[in-house]
Amino acid sequence: AKIKQVEFVKSSARARDCPKDERPEFAIVGRSNVGKSSLINSLVKKKEFALTSKKPGKTQLINHFLVNKSWYIVDLPGYGFANASQSMRTDWSSFTKGYFLNRDTLVSVMLLIDASVPPQQIDLDCANWLGRNNIAVTFVFTKCDKVKGGKGSRKDENIKQFQELISKYYQEPPPWIMTSCVTGLGRDELLLHMSQLRNY
Ligand code: GDP
């Protein structure tokens, strides 16, 4: 499941511009500041890895990175910028909706959720939309180092609450993984999970 090689392939402005390819892919999405860049960097183990511009309203693009010449990591724009206008939020959903609904090679959306805060409405909206549209999702809880582990911790409570709040939109509870870019928690599990989904 190791990542040996990563190459940037393409930035696309819409779903139909994405690479015409049979190889499987995983889309990585989440609220701005959820830890998406940190997670992708920790997966590919390259600190200097060039990712999308994080400035709101700038490069709103679908970015394809080919891994080991056999599968793609797809970096989608973050949503929920604190200072974004309503129209920008609407843009995010229409822009990405087309991708989620039409990309046949999409194996699973990796939806990043910050485990150090209680469930956020915008994350619930995103998770609910994906569930209602029967799009395969894996919940990747980030920043799991920020709140102490153990029984009844706030992190566990946040994760449990989130799962309860989205459950009615999913026929089966989606797989989920706890991660931390600080401790490396979940990194290998995530890579293994993606390799199992590819070979399924
Ligand atoms: P992005 O906007 O989703 O790409 O988020 P970044 O990767 O830039 O991370 C946003 C902030 O959260 C930065 O200050 C990171 O250092 C911090 N961060 C990201 N991942 C983790 C994590 O696993 N643990 C902790 N404690 N902080 C994190």
Q: What is the pTM of this model?
A: 0.91
Q: Nearest C-alpha to atom 20 of ligand 1 is from which residue?
A: 35
167 lines ligand 1 (CB under 6 A): no
107 lines ligand 1 (CB under 6 A): no
**pLDDT tens track for 39-81:** 999 998 764 555 544 444 445 789 999 999 999 999 998 887 6
pLDDT score at 44: 85
**pLDDT tens track for 4-51:** 999 999 999 888 999 999 999 999 999 989 999 999 999 987 645 555
The band of 92, judged by pLDDT with boundaries at 50, 70 and 90, is low
DSSP 15: G
Give ∠ CA 35-113-163 in degrees, rounded to 5.
165
77 three-class SS: coil
How far, in Å, CA of 103 to CA of 126, rounded? 17
35 lines ligand 1 (CB under 6 A): yes
pLDDT score at 27: 97
Distance 4 CA to ligand 1 centre (A): 24
75 lines ligand 1 (CB under 6 A): no
Phi-psi category of residue 103: left, alpha or beta, with phi > 0 → left and psi -120 to 50 → alpha:
beta
Q: Could you tell me the domains of the chain?
A: 6-198 (3.40.50.300)
Which residues, including other chains, have CB under 8 Å from residue 195's CB and lie 6 or more apart?
1
**pLDDT tens track for 114-136:** 999 999 999 999 999 999 999 99
Phi, psi of 76 (to 5 degrees): -100, 155
User: What is the ipTM metric for this complex?
Assistant: 0.98
pLDDT score at 58: 43
Distance 33 CA to ligand 1 centre (A): 6
Instruction: Assess whether pLDDT exceeds 90 at residue 171.
Output: yes
How far, in Å, CA of 181 to CA of 196, rounded? 22
Distance 145 CA to ligand 1 centre (A): 11
